[in-house]
Amino acid sequence: MPSSLSALFPGSHWPDYHGGSLLNLLASLSSELGGPTGGHAGLHHPWLAGIARHRHVVLLLIDGLGSRQLDTLGPDSALRRHQCSTLSSVFPATTAAAITTLLTGQSPASHGLIGWHLYCNDKEAGQQSIVAPLPMTVRHPVGTMLTPAQLASRLLVCPPVLPQLGRAAEILQPHYIADSPYSLHHAGNMQRTGYRDIEDAFDLLAEHLQQNQAPGFHYLYLPQLDSLMHRQGCHSPAVQALFDRLDVAFARLSEIADQTDSVLLASADHGFIDTPATRQISLDEDFPALYTMLAQPLSGERRAAFCHLKPGLRDAFISLARQQLGHACWVVDSQQLLQAGVFGPGEPHPQLASRCGDVTLLARDDWSIRDTLPQEKALHLPGQHGGVSAAEMTVPLILRLPRKE
């Protein structure tokens, strides 16, 4: 049980896959709209009961808008006024894992995308590599000949769930990712629309609600807040201004929702935490004795780093890492995470155990962990996620039912 880890790692927060996570949100949503549940439990509380009687159901996924961000940026916002509950993300609390869960209805354990950087043992290609599954690029080794489409065919193993709902479905995404291999796979046969900016996104969505008389489901993905908080942290004036734009757009959409009998759902894939440069560990530069024990570069996240070790060095690495890094992270045998079920229920991906490596470094407080390969430029991210703090793990569930005249 993931909750048992909270006692071992004080201050950590883990997914509630029994009815309080994004996995359960998708199971409830799909069940209400006539789609598959994937065999997973729905939400603890029947918040979504009866939504199918309305003409349209909209899911707004505001990347990075954790519960703490909503409380801080918008305590009196329209979004905050319609928050009905707080959910947990999945582990790790990151886009690749959480968005894929929402688009497939499967846990990270099953879909296998457990980090921005993913260790893959490609037996067909005879190669071990570190892949970034959202842009579909290879971090290591340099010079791979696999195309993004070929990588997608190897990595994306779960079918999309939204096209299986019992009503017409559409997906709206930024134009620069709308035709990516990841987007194409998870859209299936749904109508796809690329948008230019936030205002364009909400204008297009409003048009679709007004024009379509048949029952529909509409998924709008909004990554702008996540991108800005990575660059500037969680509390910059620009972040506040961007949140205000999103909230104004939501309020205006609410008026259209009343006219078109549309349910508005909103949530996020994860929250955020500020990570100062003075609390960043460069494992290759700062702790070379540990880094030389690795068989592969780090994978996973900067707040949950998976370490693949050279044969026979697990115990030595754990001992030395606890001495040198114990102030900044929990040094955890990855088997302990697997046994606790942190990646969720369901049939495990064949490479799940190998992808999370031998040891996981779970960042404490506001620390972060990275390495930098020769072809990479050292990069500090003032805002990050992927760890097990409440700020990263908890997300709002926002529900607005249409008001009758």
The Cα–Cα gap between 100 and 95 comes to 8
The vertex-300 CA angle with 299 and 303, nearest 5°, equals: 120
- Is the CB of residue 59 less than 8 Å from the CB of residue 399? no
Query: Roughly what angle, to the nearest 10 degrees, separates helices 224-232 and 237-260?
Result: 170
CATH of the domain at 296: 3.30.1360.180
336 assigned to some structural domain: yes
Shared domain for 215 and 304, answered yes or no, is no
Shared domain for 249 and 162, answered yes or no, is yes
131 assigned to some structural domain: no
Q: List the pLDDT tens digit at each of the 405 positions of the chain.
A: 466 799 899 999 999 999 999 999 999 999 999 999 989 999 999 999 999 999 999 999 999 999 999 999 999 999 999 999 999 999 999 999 999 999 999 999 999 999 999 999 876 666 789 999 999 999 999 887 788 999 999 999 999 999 999 999 999 999 999 999 999 999 999 999 999 999 999 999 999 999 999 999 999 999 999 999 999 999 999 999 999 999 999 999 999 999 999 999 999 999 999 999 999 999 999 999 999 999 999 999 999 999 999 999 999 999 999 999 999 999 999 999 999 999 999 999 999 999 999 999 999 999 999 999 999 999 999 999 999 999 999 999 999 999 975
Shared domain for 253 and 300, answered yes or no, is no
The Cα–Cα gap between 38 and 349 comes to 15
Shared domain for 197 and 59, answered yes or no, is yes
- Is the CB of residue 58 less than 8 Å from the CB of residue 205? yes
Shared domain for 79 and 177, answered yes or no, is yes
Shared domain for 99 and 205, answered yes or no, is yes
Six-digit token string for 200: 């364009």
Its domain, for residue 82, covers 16-109+152-274+390-400
Shared domain for 292 and 267, answered yes or no, is no
CATH of the domain at 77: 3.40.720.10
Shared domain for 208 and 356, answered yes or no, is no
Six-digit token string for 135: 């842009």
Instruction: Please provide the size of the chain in residues.
Output: 405
Shared domain for 281 and 396, answered yes or no, is no
Shared domain for 53 and 196, answered yes or no, is yes
Straight-line distance from the first to the last Cα atom of the chain, in angstroms, rounded to the nearest whole number = 47
DSSP string, 159-186: PPSGGGSSSEEEEEEETTTTTSHHHHHH
290 assigned to some structural domain: yes
Question: In total, how many domains does the chain have?
Answer: 2
